[in-house]
Chains A and B, each alone.
Chain A
Amino acid sequence: SAVISQKPSRDICQRGTSLTIQCQVDSQVTMMFWYRQQPGQSLTLIATANQGSEATYESGFVIDKFPISRPNLTFSTLTVSNMSPEDSSIYLCSVEGQGGGYTFGSGTRLTVV
Chain B
Amino acid sequence: RKEVEQDPGPFNVPEGATVAFNCTYSNSASQSFFWYRQDCRKEPKLLMSVYSSGNEDGRFTAQLNRASQYISLLIRDSKLSDSATYLCVVIPGGGSNYKLTFGKGTLLTVNP
A and B: partners? no
* Chain A residues at the B interface, C-beta cutoff of 8 Å: none
